[in-house]
Amino acid sequence: MKNLKYILPILVIIMLLTSFKKLEDTDPKDKALITILNYVLTQWHYHPQEINDNFSKNVYTKFLESLDPSKRYFLQSDIEEFSVYKNAIDDQIKQENLTFFNLVYKRFNERTEESKAYYKEILTHPIDFMSDETLNVDYEKTKYATNTFELISHWKKLMKFSVLTRVYDKVNEEDDKLKKDKNYKIKTFSELEIEARESTLKNMDEYFNRLKELDHSDLFSTYINCISEEFDPHTNYYDPIKKKGFDQSISGKLEGIGARLQKQNDYVKVSELVIGGPAWKQGELEAEDIILKVAQGDGEPLDIVGMRLDHSIEFIKGKKGTEVRLTVKKIDGTIKVISIIRDVIELEETFVKSSVVNKNGKKFGVINLPKFYIDFDEKNYRNSTTDMAQEIERLKKENVEGLIVDLRNNGGGSLKTAIEITGLFINQGPVVQVKYRDKEAQIKSDIDPKMQWDGPLVVLVNELSASASEIFAAAMQDYKRAVIIGGKQTYGKGTVQSVLDLNRYHNLKEDIGALKITIQKFYRINGGSTQLEGVHSDIMLPSRYTYMEIGERDLTNPLKFDKVPEANYALWNNYANFNEVIGNSKKRIANNTYFKLIDENAKWLKKSQDDSIVYLNYEAYKNDLEYHKNESSKFDEIKNYTTNLTFESPLYEKAILKNDTDLTEKRSTWHKNLKKDIYVAEALNVLEDLKLKPNHHLVKK
């Protein structure tokens, strides 16, 4: 971004570095990083936080939670010792003082070393699964142990739960073996309990070996991120190793399962599936799933609960053609083992594609746009604008009477293409407002008077449609150009980040990494920000995410919603029955049995997600899993929904399919899914009902 070119000269930074107070045991690189971070964040972040006592308290809490999310290491006495610095971290940042970090780092190493003796002793003895114990995995409600005895008691529950899950799996495996071979001799529960303890012990040993490999710089990076993320959740520090990985991920091909993962307390959660990736193709892994264990093929599953995210990812990713088996906790509370064959993420699946469908004698087009893609380095490389324009022209030749643009699960991409694609559906005019800190919002407009499609338009979104998707959907809604159908609101990410190499600020010989920093905010042409609010659908369809905490608003410390003056634009105003169509759709949805069932399922999923009590009694644990499985089966009818519609490739693609069996298979799968997609079905109902006025004309706002 141009504004980042006005950077404090290196000379001034060097002067700052030479002014450090001498502190024992503090690496000059760490002091340099804390100084540079302080400067960059306060000078260039879109909404800089005041680094005060409140800021200090938040960093203090976040850092301790990052190191010990399940409260299995620190004692209450440690917390009391640390708390002296609760209101002092802000001053320490300004003074290049790392006393708090050094104290916590040293104590963390001591406590983790002590913990080895706890789990080893616990796993030496048989575990009783008959007692009526429970474990609350909502660790925010868990207090720190006041003494070693209480801490060991907490460890006993954690180890008991880990062994319990393994015993349960082994019992089921024995039952499966007996079904296949009636002469198979089933192992006793006691034998399985011993095996489960042994595998848990091996898993814990491996976990602590990895923990031991964490050095000072690893935990200092965690501390730095606790500071940066206090500005907003998208402002993140990349240490030199992660910076290298980030550079590779945006320039090369990725091999793995194709899922974006994030840390949630002690757990690894799936935040998003990469379109075209192996997990997306396999179809069972979903956003919000919690990954509990990872197995390489038919190998022993590795428990990743409590493991650092980057270490977990090392076990999940892998070479093309290899199998990974993930034990996941679904959002309905059921436990499922999902087998995925790793592969290279296929770019073809991230490109625009379309389908044609006949409904009651009318022909409509469905265009799927997985992301707003562009390649700034290769001018001749495919981009979403030219692909979309070409797809529309092809559909026009087939005389389609209306279009659906499907942006579900589209996490965004290029702002440039979002503006250009909006321009395909309007004559010309403002599309979005972009604002830098302390400056007036700049209006970004479509300046091309050509309109690629002037017919009826429906835009399909969901709770995972974000960023550039929200810009396009918001513009279509503000112009009243399209009917927006989907979840109650889109994701709500209305900010822009830039990755800044921090090495430009120092003259040290070492690499100190990079900072992804929020520098801009998006606003609709009606003046409202897409931040937090996203885009509220004209027609809200219930989904499994309706009651989930899944959007920007549910992240820690997001930037606020606000407004700027609205832009000057003219409503499209060419629908003869816009409001009537929306009203009729709402009536259909309210009376639709499947949508009612989807809403009931969503409420139950939310209830299951909020249930944080785990049973440590074997029968109670087994019954709880069976209960969730049975309750989940009540909603199986949703999967049986289908229409009598037939979706086909457009004519131009049919010729290509004759010589491409792989693409034929992919399109066949997509068309079958469209046929069973209740959201597409309702979008087609709306599209069919939309009527244009005899004479198109613009009405000034």
37 contacts 62 by C-beta, under 8 angstroms? no
Q: Quick one: which of 650, 653, 648, 675 has its CA closest to 663?
A: 653
User: Using N-to-C axis directions, what is the helix angle for 216-228 and 28-44, rounded to 10°?
Assistant: 20
Catalytic residue list contains 329: no
Catalytic residue list contains 478: yes
> Residue 319, exposed/middle/buried by CB under 10 A (0-12, 13-18, 19+)?
exposed
Selecting among 289, 478, 538, 599, the annotated active-site residue is 478
Distance of CA 124 to the CA centre of its chain: 39
Length of the chain equals 701
Cα–Cα distance list, 233 to 115, 137, 364 (Å): 32, 24, 41
Distance CA 328, CA 340 (A): 12
Q: Token digits for 125?
A: 């003895």
For the CA atoms of 87, 90, 92, 95, what is the dihedral angle to 10 degrees? -140
Q: Quick one: which of 555, 424, 615, 498 has its CA closest to 238?
A: 498
Q: Quick one: which of 539, 538, 534, 523 has its CA closest to 464?
A: 534
Look at the block and give the residue holding tokens 């306060």.
Answer: 42
Distance CA 33, CA 38 (A): 8
Residue 673's CB: how many other CB atoms inside 10 A? 12
Selecting among 493, 521, 538, 543, the annotated active-site residue is 493
Look at the block and give the residue holding tokens 């007996």.
Answer: 178
Ranges of H-type helices in 273-321: 278-282, 309-316
Helix (H) / strand (E) containing 497: strand 495-501
Selecting among 467, 537, 632, 649, the annotated active-site residue is 467
198 contacts 165 by C-beta, under 8 angstroms? no
95 contacts 262 by C-beta, under 8 angstroms? no
293 contacts 279 by C-beta, under 8 angstroms? no
Q: What is the DSSP secondary-structure string of 47-98?
A: SPPP-SHHHHHHHHHHHHHHH-TTS-S-BHHHHHHHGGGTTTHHHHHHTT--
> Residue 337, exposed/middle/buried by CB under 10 A (0-12, 13-18, 19+)?
middle
Q: Quick one: which of 47, 39, 35, 171 has its CA closest to 97?
A: 35
Tell me the Cα Rg of the chain: 28
- Numbers of helices and strands, H then E, in the chain: 21, 24
Helix (H) / strand (E) containing 442: strand 442-446
Catalytic residue list: 467, 478, 493
